Amino acid sequence: MTAKMTNGKTERGICELYADDPDRADALVFGRRVNKDRRGFLKHSGLAAMATAVGAAIPYQRFMPGGLIPAALAETTEPFVIAGKDGLTVLNDRPINAETPAHLLDDDVTPIERHFVRNNGIPPVSVDVENWTLEIDGEVDTPLRLTIAELKERFEVVSLKLQIECGGNGRSSFNPPARGNQWSVGAVANSEWTGVRYADVLRAAGIRSSAIYTGQYGADMHLSGQPDKNAISRGMPIAKAMDPHNLIAFEMNGRPIHPLNGAPLRVVAPGWPGSCSHKWLKRIWVRDVVHDGAKMTGTSYRVPKYPVAPGQKVPKEDFRIIESMPVKSLITWPQSGIELAPGTRRLGVRGHAWAGDLAVGKLDVSIDFGASWSAAKLDPPPNRYSWQRWQAEIEFPMAGYYEVWARATDEQGRQQPFAIAWNPKGYLNNSLHRIALQIPA
């Protein structure tokens, strides 16, 4: 396993890390401390991290020698293999974050194994679906505590194809670099979610006129392992919460939700940053103020209220909370870097486009570095908040190196830019997507 550079830092595989200094690796990766008889003592958060990594609880963890790499990890070439996922690029392993290469996002409905993973803390190790409860309290007339079975019995169950995108998708292209996971373009997905409407549950609780914002809480653990700290607790304005396309979901593509995507219960709040789509949902606190939970304050999921120069420092009071995501598109076919067969001059290109709370109005492609543009065929979405399929037939005039650029425009006329609008946290990069290809003589 060789080291690699990411964002100016050296990232090392787990085997290499343990080979150099097993005790230090225990502390760094799992928070494990070694006692005098060389047995490893896993703190609660470390035990949860290791159990997540190997895919199950570890009954005899107290007997594990210090510096021992679980065989499930030692036998792989990656720090972690994510069970139930295929082809994803792992960006971080504590917490686990992984994105999907653009060419693996070609399906209109993203398969579970191709849905990206974005976590802020340590997911619950074991889940009791039958006894899982959701609490709704705060500025409501009738506080509720509901099991998943009761959600299904009391409310209409609906299925919608809904797009979720991480607010930091595209962060790797910022210069100067912004701190955080260095997503390229693959922190986005469009699966079919089944659940009940968030709004129906709030209405059943009787929202008071004083309600302003929701605050959401999940069962994931803070990386520190401290029970009084939340990994993340975000929410949304009541107006957004009442959108009928927001779901409290318990199925993903007709199957149980993947554990790292929030099983057994999660919010799907499409069009807004994925951080609003809370995973492992346990509580909705209806509030009479803007929610101030973990990663709702300071500069988390916020951008400056005005344009800033690259590298410019911005006072915290000059940041606003991100709401609707900007218009964006992705080329999913062909894969960047391909070489066409000799004599080929024509190629079908396709992908997806989306625009936060809005629909996409048009999609254009260019093969001459933006000097001219041609309209692609753009399909309507199957339902609001689903991404939209686009496709185009491109004729290449001669052999050589080409780039295909895709540019989406939303229904209000706002268009993807070529240049990146920099911000300190590396959010909302919606610069146009481009791929490279070779046309042989």
Q: Which of 249, 439, 272 is nearest to 344 (CA)?
A: 439
- The reported pLDDT for the residue numbered 22 is 57
- The reported pLDDT for the residue numbered 334 is 97
Q: Which residues pair with 255 in a beta bridge?
A: 252
Q: Where are the alpha helices (DSSP H) in 196-237?
A: 198-205
Q: Which is the CATH superfamily of the domain at 133-321?
A: Oxidoreductase, molybdopterin-binding domain (3.90.420.10)
- The reported pLDDT for the residue numbered 83 is 86
| CB atoms near residue 116 (< 10 Å) | 26
End-to-end CA distance of the chain: 39
Q: Which of 107, 95, 229 is nearest to 161 (CA)?
A: 107
The phi, psi pair for 153, rounded to 5°, reads: -75, -40
Amino acid at 172: S
- The reported pLDDT for the residue numbered 441 is 84
Residues 6+ apart with CB under 8 A from 37: none
The burial class, CB within 10 Å (0-12 / 13-18 / 19+), for 260 is buried
363 three-class SS: strand
Given a contact cutoff of 8 angstroms between Cβ atoms, the answer to whether 128 and 138 are in contact is no
Edge-to-edge strand ranges of the sheet holding 388-395: 328-333, 346-354, 388-395, 377-378
Rg (CA), the chain: 23
Residues 6+ apart with CB under 8 A from 60: none
- The reported pLDDT for the residue numbered 37 is 46
HSE value, Cβ hemisphere, 13 Å, CA-based, for 305:
6
- The reported pLDDT for the residue numbered 82 is 85
| CB atoms near residue 20 (< 10 Å) | 9
DSSP state of 29: I
- The reported pLDDT for the residue numbered 41 is 47
- The reported pLDDT for the residue numbered 36 is 46
The burial class, CB within 10 Å (0-12 / 13-18 / 19+), for 190 is buried
Return the sign of the alpha-carbon dihedral for residues 257, 260, 266, 269.
negative
pLDDT digits (tens, 9 = 90+) for 84-97: 999 999 998 778 89
pLDDT 10s per residue in the chain (441 long)? 333 434 433 344 555 555 555 555 555 455 555 454 444 444 555 556 666 666 666 666 666 666 566 666 655 555 456 889 999 999 987 788 999 999 999 999 999 999 999 999 999 988 999 999 999 999 999 999 999 999 999 999 999 999 999 999 999 999 999 999 999 999 999 999 999 999 999 999 999 999 999 999 999 999 888 889 999 999 999 999 999 999 999 999 999 999 999 999 999 999 999 999 999 999 999 999 999 999 999 999 999 999 999 999 999 999 999 999 999 999 999 999 999 999 899 999 999 999 999 999 999 999 999 999 999 999 999 999 999 999 999 999 999 999 999 999 999 999 999 988 899 999 999 999 999 999 988
Given a contact cutoff of 8 angstroms between Cβ atoms, the answer to whether 277 and 267 are in contact is yes
Q: Which of 58, 95, 55, 44 is nearest to 275 (CA)?
A: 95
- The reported pLDDT for the residue numbered 5 is 39
Residues 6+ apart with CB under 8 A from 215: 138, 233, 234, 235, 284, 285, 286, 287, 291, 293, 296
Distance CA 4, CA 12 (A): 7
- The reported pLDDT for the residue numbered 68 is 62
- The reported pLDDT for the residue numbered 126 is 85
The CATH classification number of 328-439 equals: 2.60.40.650
Q: What is the DSSP string of 161-186?
A: EEEEE-TTTTGGG-SS--SS----S-
Domain boundaries, the chain: 1-81, 133-321, 328-439
